[in-house]
Structure 1
Amino acid sequence: MRLRILTAATALLAAGSAALVGCSSDTGVAAGAAKGGSGENGLAASSAVGELKVDTAARDLLPDGVRKSNVLKVGGSTDIAPYLSVNGKNLVGVEADFMTALGRTLGVKFEVGNTKFAAMVPGLQSRRFDVAMADFSDTLERQKQVTFVDYTRAGQILIVPKGNPLKLKAVADLCGHSAAGPTGSLSVDIAMAQSKKCTDSGEGAVNVQRYPTAAESALALQSGRIDTLAIDYGIASSLVQQSQGKLQLTGGLFGKGFHGAAFRKDDQALQKAFTAAFTTLMKNGTYKRILDHWNLPQMSLDKVVTNGATE
C-alpha cells in the first residue's frame, strides 16, 4: 500500500518559518510535502501503529469502486500539529497514524489532499474526495450536509499570553475582547455565538478575527493583534509548547464534542466500512496505543459514534 502526497509549491518547500509551513490551501495538495516521502506510504507513522492485517469483513463493506481501485481520496488539513502536519517529506501526527492503520485494515491506499476546513464539505459534495478527516469537528450545521463517523472526543480551550494579563478564563469573558481562530473552524463559530450573547446582554461584541491556520492565529496572539485564541485542546497544547514560554492555556474545556470522518450522506457503504475498521482498531488495541503515543488519551471513545454532536 502506498499513500501518495501531492507536491506543493517550491516556495513552501523552502520556507523555514512555522507560519509558512502552517499555510494550508484548498487546491488538493499537501503543503510542504514532497512526492512519495521516505516513510511507508509517504507517512512517518509512529511505532504505535504496529503490524496490522487486512480485516476482510471491513474491506468487503467498501463501495465497489473503492475496492476495485484500492484508493481512497481524503481531504484534510495538513498543517495542524499534533493531528496532521508536514515533517520533511512526510505527514506525521495522530491522524497520520489513524490513516496508516485504516489503510492497512481496509487494504487501500489513502490519497491525501491538503484542504481548508471551510472547503471540507464543498469538496465532499463536489466529489473531489471521498472522506474529510483530520481534526474535523462534528457539528449540527455540518450534519445537515454530511454524515459523520466520530472516532475521538474533542474540546476547546483558550490560549492567552503568558501571565494572562486580561484574566480571561472562559468564553463568557470574551465580551469586549478580540479572539481568533482558523477560518471555517468550530473555534470561530463558538466565538461568533458568544459575541451575539454579549451584545444581547448589552455588553461589547467579541472582535472575531480569522486566520488561515492555527499557527498564524497563534502568531497574531504573540504579536498582540488579538487578546486570546480559542482552539482545539490538542492543537492548543502543541502551540503553547512551540511558543517558548510566550503563551499559556487558561480555564477549562468548552465546546465539547467529537472529531470525525465526514462522508456524503448517500455514501453509506463507506460509512459502514470506516465504522467497522475503527471498531477493529479499538478492539485490537491500536486505537489506544495511537492516542497514548500522542499524549491524547482523554480523546478516547469506547465505540464509534455516528453523528454524535447533538448541540
Structure 2
Amino acid sequence: MALRKPDSGPFALGALAAAGILALTACGNGGEGADDSAAPEVSADEELAALVPDEIREAGSVSIGVEAEYPPGEYLDEDGETVLGFNVDLVTAALTKLDLEAEWVPANFDAIIIGVDSGQYTLGASSFTINEERMETVNMVSYFSSGTQWFSLAGNPEDIDPDNACGQRVAVQTGTTHDADVEARSEACVEAGEDAITIEKFPNQQLATTSVISGVNDASLADLPTSLFALQETGDQLEFIGEQYDAAPYGVVVNQDDNELADALAAAFNAIMEDGTYDAVLEEWGIETGAIDTSEVNPSVEE
C-alpha cells in the first residue's frame, strides 16, 4: 500500500470553524499538489503476519478506537468520515506489515481505553501517552515520543508561567495526561496558600484552543505536535509558553489479554523503523523529533 502523503489543502477544524474564530489548513488528502506516488510503499510481511493470533488473522482487520479531533495526530478529512493523521499513517503501516486492514472508529477519548478493555475495539490509537496507570489495565505498544507544551495568546498578555499558574484560567482536554497535570499544579497552588487554577475541561483539544483564542481562558497545553499545529495554523494569534517537558512515548492500546497481538504489533513497528517507512512518515509530517529507536510492549516510563 502507499501511505497518504500530507498535503496543504485547506480544511476547517470543525470546532474552530463553527465558532467563527478561524479556519485552519491542515494535511489533507486529494487536494492540489497531493503526491501519493512519493509516499512510502508498505507491503505485508508473511513472517510478521504469522505472529498475529489466528482469530484476528482470519478476520483480516482490526477495529481501532480513535478520537479524531487531535490534529495532526488524528483528525477527520473533509468528507467527515476518513480519519487522517501521522498516528493513523504509522499505525496503518504497521498493520499492513501484519497483513491487517485498519477500521478506524471515532470515539470519545476517555472511552477508548475502556472500549479496548471491554472488547468493543481491538486497538486504541489516539496520541495516548504511555504511563503506569494505563498499563495497569491494558497493554501499550510504543511507537513515538512527545512531551507537553503550553501556549497562550500571542504576547502572553496574562503573563502565564506553567510553573506558577495559580489563579489563572487554563483550558485542557478532559481525560488526558494534561488534565491530570493541571489538576496537580492547582492542588500545589492551594497547598501553598495561593488561588487554585481555574480549569475548564473540554471534550477535545480544538475547543480548548478556541477558548484561548477567544480570551475565555488564558492558556492551554497539549502534546507538542498538537500545540505546534495550533500555532502554525492560527497565524500570529498564539505563542508557546516555556519549553516542552515530560517527553514520554505514545502507545497503541491493546487488550491486556491480547499479548500475542501486542508483540506482533511491536515487531511490525520495528520492521517499519528498519525499512525506512517510519522515518519517511515522520519527515512528511515534520515531526522527526518524536522518533524512537525501538518499539516495545509496556516499556518502562518515568512518572
Q: TM-score range by the shorter chain?
A: 0.7 to 0.9
Match of 1:64 in 2: 54
Q: Cα distance, 1:173 vs. partner?
A: 2.0
Residues 204 and 46 from structure 1, CA distance in 2 versus in 1: closer, same or farther, beyond 3 angstroms?
A: farther
SS at the partner of 2:279?
helix
Match of 1:185 in 2: 176
> Which of 123, 131, 134 is residue 123 of structure 2 equivalent to?
131
> Which of 222, 226, 237 is residue 217 of structure 2 equivalent to?
226
Following the alignment from structure 2 to structure 1, what is the Cα–Cα distance between the partners of residues 37 and 243? 31
Following the alignment from structure 1 to structure 2, what is the Cα–Cα distance between the partners of residues 310 and 104? 31
Task: Supply the AA of the counterpart residue of 1:189.
Answer: A
Following the alignment from structure 2 to structure 1, what is the Cα–Cα distance between the partners of residues 93 and 39? 6
1:246-272 CA distance string (max 9 Å, x none)? 111121012321111011111101101
1:109-136 CA distance string (max 9 Å, x none)? 1111112221011101111111111311
Task: Supply the AA of the counterpart residue of 1:67.
Answer: R
Following the alignment from structure 1 to structure 2, what is the Cα–Cα distance between the partners of residues 118 and 148? 16
Residues 153 and 16 from structure 1, CA distance in 2 versus in 1: closer, same or farther, beyond 3 angstroms?
A: closer
> Which of 301, 305, 308 is residue 296 of structure 2 equivalent to?
305
Q: Larger deviation: 124-133 or 242-251? A: 242-251
Q: Cα distance, 1:49 vs. partner?
A: 4.6
Contact 2:140–2:252 at 8 Å: present in 1 too? Answer: yes
Residues 176 and 261 from structure 1, CA distance in 2 versus in 1: closer, same or farther, beyond 3 angstroms?
A: same
> Which of 138, 141, 147 is residue 146 of structure 1 equivalent to?
138
> Which of 14, 19, 24 is residue 18 of structure 1 equivalent to?
14
Q: Cα distance, 1:48 vs. partner?
A: 6.4
TM-score (norm 2): 0.86
Q: Cα distance, 1:96 vs. partner?
A: 2.2
Following the alignment from structure 1 to structure 2, what is the Cα–Cα distance between the partners of residues 188 and 82? 20
Following the alignment from structure 1 to structure 2, what is the Cα–Cα distance between the partners of residues 210 and 78? 18
Following the alignment from structure 1 to structure 2, what is the Cα–Cα distance between the partners of residues 45 and 275? 29
1:208-234 CA distance string (max 9 Å, x none)? 111111111011001111111011110
Match of 1:166 in 2: 158
SS at the partner of 2:199?
strand
1:69-97 CA distance string (max 9 Å, x none)? 10111011112111111222333221221
> Which of 170, 174, 197 is residue 206 of structure 1 equivalent to?
197
Match of 1:119 in 2: 111
Contact 1:48–1:289 at 8 Å: present in 2 too? Answer: no
> Which of 66, 81, 96 is residue 104 of structure 1 equivalent to?
96
Q: Cα distance, 1:239 vs. partner?
A: 1.0
Q: Does 1:84 align with 2:77?
A: no
In structure 2, list runs of 5 or more residues that go unmatched. 2-10, 20-28
> Which of 225, 246, 251 is residue 237 of structure 2 equivalent to?
246
Give the RMSD, CA atoms, in angstroms: 2.6
Residues 96 and 174 from structure 1, CA distance in 2 versus in 1: closer, same or farther, beyond 3 angstroms?
A: same
Contact 1:49–1:97 at 8 Å: present in 2 too? Answer: no
Residues 70 and 136 from structure 1, CA distance in 2 versus in 1: closer, same or farther, beyond 3 angstroms?
A: same
Q: Cα distance, 1:22 vs. partner?
A: 9.2
Following the alignment from structure 1 to structure 2, what is the Cα–Cα distance between the partners of residues 60 and 104? 13
Contact 1:157–1:232 at 8 Å: present in 2 too? Answer: yes
Contact 1:76–1:115 at 8 Å: present in 2 too? Answer: yes
SS at the partner of 2:243?
strand
Following the alignment from structure 2 to structure 1, what is the Cα–Cα distance between the partners of residues 37 and 183? 40
Contact 2:146–2:248 at 8 Å: present in 1 too? Answer: yes
TM-score (norm 1): 0.84
Task: Supply the AA of the counterpart residue of 1:231.
Answer: A
